[in-house]
Amino acid sequence: MNTALTSSLAGLVLLVVCATPNAAPVSMQSDVLTNADGMTLYVFDKDAAGSGKSACNGDCATNWPPLMATADDKPSDDYSVIIRDDGSRQWAYKGKPLYRWIKDRKPGDATGDGVKNVWHAAKP
pLDDT tens digits for range 41-74: 999 999 999 999 999 999 999 999 999 999 999 9
Listed in sequence order, the DSSP H helices in the chain are 3-19, 59-63
pLDDT at 87 over 80: yes
52 secondary structure, DSSP code:
S
Quote the pLDDT of residue 30. Answer: 87
In terms of pTM, does the model score above 0.75? yes
Quote the pLDDT of residue 22. Answer: 73
pLDDT at 18 over 60: no
Triad 112, 31, 42: Cα angle to 5°: 30
Which of 16-20, 43-47, 108-112 shows the lowest per-residue confidence on average (mean pLDDT)?
Answer: 16-20
